[in-house]
């Protein structure tokens, strides 16, 4: 049975090779001042920066720049961005980049006019926004997080060794997002496959929970099959438009708030992965891949029926003559083989995690209760130790 829910998603998407042109339709809806937010320079190398500045200027915009948003944006950078947005009284924040740039833009959007410390209000105390919000638009260049069509914003505080995501309401979702698969062609292979696994993890976090018959589970099996199929093509040929466009669309649907409607969710891989990120600053998708096999092998007995279904419906395991455990295990073995095939990081050692960090990482992982097994501190430690292989 579906639990009760309300649903809306206000982000307008423009998808395809000509989608950047639609910036001309969106820009007139906002005032003159635009904060152009981007990362470490990939958009300058690719030529996208020049194209966007040209479109902004031709629409009469005054452009203020906020460059250097790092992967896993920090709280110090957030304070800097808020000052720039406020000093220039901007009317729109245009994020051009991956999940980090989009997340950061949303954080600046809600924090600029916040009269207390936004880290404390939004990320430690998880309070709602009750001040002015600056609208955000996105041009996505790296696929994985779903940030282009959700209210998520993840900020890292290195001093406190915490990486925390706030899921803001739909008043903070990007007003519009431009999705051109061609913009993702230049993403380095390591980042690209990390993004692929981020998508897979988003789906699995929402899939491995609940006992009810739920439409979402069928949608998720479809998303996973499409992702597995297209990702194998994309690692061999990163400029395969068909594969990259399908992956881009799959990423958006995997975390645009649709597929968790009416059901419970897990999200413990992300909680542990984020804590690894706070200690190592590792690439988000790789923090998830490095712990997933240890995590899922540990919880499999508690959600055996779902792991069996996953094996049969996603990995095409033939159930004939096998016990439920054998079927479920075969599914996870196939998942592991796929992860190795696309060159994901399979050990947290390869992310710089050392034995002495494990207790702190476990402490920094928020324990959520929606999965098949609510983990305690020692069980998180064990999952981490089993991810050190
Ligand atoms: O900074 P530049 O030079 O642009 O380089 C970036 C960055 O180094 C590069 N890149 C992006 N597009 C490129 C490109 N390089 C060449 N060509 C392009 N077209 O890729 C690197 C990684 O970018 P980043 O934005 O950090 O990656 P991603 O999209 O994976 O975002 C990760 C962040 O999103 C958060 C993560 O925790 C992490 O902080 N998440 C946000 C979520 C949400 N909003 O709902 C959910 C996710 O689970 C995740 O937690
Ligand atoms: Zn993620």
Tell me the per-residue pLDDT of 203-240, one tens digit each, with 9 for 90 and over.
999 999 999 999 999 999 999 999 999 999 999 999 99
Over residues 2-8, mean pLDDT: 93
In a domain, 6, yes or no: no
Q: Which atom of ligand 1 lies closest to the CA of 155?
A: 39
Neighbours of ion ligand 2 (CB under 5 A): 198
At residue 117 the predicted structure's pLDDT band, cuts being 50, 70 and 90, is very high
Question: Mean pLDDT over all residues of the chain?
Answer: 98
Say if residue 138 is in the same domain as residue 73.
Answer: yes
In a domain, 1, yes or no: no
What distances in angstroms separate CA 145 from CA 10, 195, 262, 283, 357, one per listed residue? 18, 7, 22, 12, 26
In a domain, 214, yes or no: yes
In a domain, 361, yes or no: yes
Q: Which of 163, 184, 205 is the last residue of a domain?
A: 184
Q: Looking at residue 240, which CATH number applies to its domain?
A: 1.20.1090.10
Say if residue 378 is in the same domain as residue 244.
Answer: yes
191 lines ligand 1 (CB under 6 A): yes
pLDDT in tens, 147-200: 999 999 999 999 999 999 999 999 999 999 999 999 999 999 999 999 999 999
Say if residue 226 is in the same domain as residue 334.
Answer: yes
At residue 1 the predicted structure's pLDDT band, cuts being 50, 70 and 90, is confident
Rounded to the nearest angstrom, the distance between the alpha carbon of 374 and the centre of ligand 1 is 29
Percent pLDDT > 70 in the chain is 100
pLDDT at 366: 97
Over residues 75-102, mean pLDDT: 98
Which pTM was predicted?
0.98
pLDDT at 142: 98
Rounded to the nearest angstrom, the distance between the alpha carbon of 70 and the centre of ligand 1 is 8
Say if residue 177 is in the same domain as residue 287.
Answer: no
pLDDT at 352: 98
Q: Which atom of ligand 1 lies closest to the CA of 147?
A: 44
Q: Looking at residue 45, which CATH number applies to its domain?
A: 3.40.50.1970
In a domain, 118, yes or no: yes
Say if residue 170 is in the same domain as residue 200.
Answer: no
Domain count, the chain: 2
Say if residue 218 is in the same domain as residue 116.
Answer: no
Residue 351 has pLDDT above 90, yes or no: yes
40 lines ligand 1 (CB under 6 A): yes
Q: Which of 184, 200, 226 is the last residue of a domain?
A: 184
Domain enclosing residue 241, as ranges: 192-386
Which residue CA neighbors atom 31 of ligand 1 most closely? 99
Q: Ligand 1, residues 9, 11, 38, 39: which to mutate, most atoms within 8 A of Cβ?
A: 39
42 lines ligand 1 (CB under 6 A): yes
Over residues 285-309, mean pLDDT: 98
In a domain, 201, yes or no: yes
Say if residue 309 is in the same domain as residue 241.
Answer: yes
Rounded to the nearest angstrom, the distance between the alpha carbon of 198 and the centre of ligand 2 is 5
Say if residue 227 is in the same domain as residue 153.
Answer: no
Say if residue 215 is in the same domain as residue 357.
Answer: yes
Say if residue 82 is in the same domain as residue 197.
Answer: no
Residue 389 has pLDDT above 90, yes or no: no
Say if residue 173 is in the same domain as residue 197.
Answer: no
Say if residue 150 is in the same domain as residue 207.
Answer: no
In a domain, 58, yes or no: yes
pLDDT in tens, 13-32: 999 999 999 999 999 999 99
339 lines ligand 1 (CB under 6 A): no
Over residues 71-90, mean pLDDT: 98
In a domain, 4, yes or no: no
Among the bound ligands, the one closest to the CA of 150: 1
Q: Which of 123, 158, 184 is the last residue of a domain?
A: 184
At residue 345 the predicted structure's pLDDT band, cuts being 50, 70 and 90, is very high
Contacts of 375 by beta carbon, 8 Å cutoff, 6+ apart: 268, 367, 383
């Amino acid at each position: 049975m579906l639990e009760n829910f309300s649903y809306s998603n206000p982000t307008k998407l423009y998808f395809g090779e000509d989608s950047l042109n639609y910036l001309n339709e969106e820009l007139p809806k906002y005032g003159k001042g635009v904060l152009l937010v981007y990362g470490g320079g990939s958009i300058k190398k690719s030529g996208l920066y020049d194209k966007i500045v040209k479109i902004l200027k031709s629409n009469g915009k005054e452009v203020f720049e906020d460059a250097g948003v790092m992967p896993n944006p920090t709280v110090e950078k957030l304070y800097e961005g808020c000052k720039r947005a406020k000093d220039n009284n901007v009317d729109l924040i245009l994020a051009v980049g991956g999940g980090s740039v989009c997340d950061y833009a949303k954080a600046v959007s809600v924090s600029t006019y916040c009269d207390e410390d936004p880290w404390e209000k939004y990320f430690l105390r998880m309070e709602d926004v009750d001040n002015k919000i600056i609208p955000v638009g996105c041009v996505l260049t790296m696929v994985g997080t779903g940030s282009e069509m959700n209210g998520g914003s993840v900020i890292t505080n290195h001093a406190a060794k915490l990486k925390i995501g706030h899921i803001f309401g739909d008043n903070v979702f990007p007003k519009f997002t431009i999705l051109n698969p061609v913009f993702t062609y230049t993403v380095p292979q390591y980042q690209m496959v990390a993004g692929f696994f981020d998508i897979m993890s988003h789906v699995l976090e929402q899939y491995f929970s609940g006992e009810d018959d739920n439409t979402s589970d069928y949608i998720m099996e479809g998303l996973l099959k499409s992702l597995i199929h297209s990702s194998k093509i994309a690692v061999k040929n990163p400029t395969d438009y068909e594969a990259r466009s399908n992956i881009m669309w799959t990423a958006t649907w995997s975390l645009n708030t649709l597929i968790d409607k009416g059901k419970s969710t897990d999200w413990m891989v992300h909680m542990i992965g984020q804590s690894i990120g706070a200690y190592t600053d590792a690439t988000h998708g790789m923090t998830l891949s490095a712990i997933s096999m240890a995590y899922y092998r540990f919880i499999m007995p508690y959600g055996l029926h779902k792991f069996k279904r996953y094996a049969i419906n996603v990995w095409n395991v033939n159930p004939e003559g096998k016990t439920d455990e054998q079927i479920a295990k075969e599914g996870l073995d196939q998942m592991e083989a796929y992860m190795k095939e696309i060159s994901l990081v399979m050990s947290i050692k390869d992310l710089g995690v050392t034995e002495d960090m494990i207790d702190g990482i476990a402490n920094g992982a928020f324990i959520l209760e929606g999965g098949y097994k609510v983990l305690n501190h020692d069980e998180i430690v064990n999952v981490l130790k089993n991810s050190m292989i």
